[in-house]
Amino acid sequence: MKVRPILVLLTITSVSLFSACKKNLEDPLSTSSNVEVCGIKDPVNNLKWLSDKMKVYTFGDNADKLNGVVLFEYKGENVIEIQCSICSSTNTHQYRCDGTLYDFSNSNSFQDFLISRKKISLLYGTEIWK
C-alpha cells in the first residue's frame, strides 16, 4: 500500500501550493518595502491613495516584475513615482505625499526632474524606468 502515503503527500503539497498562490492573488503588495515615507511606514500599503492606485496595476503572478514604486528626493521633497508596465514613462506618475501629481507638463521641468532627482529607495517591485 505505497499509494496511500503518496496520495497524502500529494494532497499536502497541493494544499500548500494553493494557499501560497491564493495569498499572492489576494495581496499582491505583500512584497512592498517597510521604509517610512511621508511619516508612514510601508507606504505602498498604508498610504491610501498609493495603495488604491497600486491595486489597479498589480495583479497576477508577476506583478512585482511588471510594476514598481520608487521614492525620489527632488528639491527637498519626497516624490513617489509609480512605474507600471501599462503606463507611459512620461511625466504623469510622480506624486507628493498627499497624492497630488507633480506638474511636469512643461518638458523642461520634467527634464530638470530627471537630471536633479535623487533615488532614495525602491518601495515596491522592479524599477522599470531607469
- CA 89, chain centre distance (Å): 15
Q: State yes or no: pLDDT of 15 exceeds 50.
A: no
Task: Give percent of the chain above pLDDT 70.
Answer: 65
- Distance of alpha carbon 36 from alpha carbon 51, whole angstroms: 15
Q: What is the pLDDT of residue 71?
A: 96
Query: Where is pLDDT greater, at 87 or 100?
Result: 100
Confidence band for 25, pLDDT divided at 50, 70 and 90? very low
Q: What is the pLDDT of residue 76?
A: 95
Q: State yes or no: pLDDT of 8 exceeds 90.
A: no
Query: Where is pLDDT greater, at 43 or 64?
Result: 43
User: Which residues 6+ apart lie within 8 Å of 71 measured at CB?
Assistant: 35, 37, 78, 79, 80, 81, 119, 120, 121, 122, 123
Confidence band for 111, pLDDT divided at 50, 70 and 90? very high
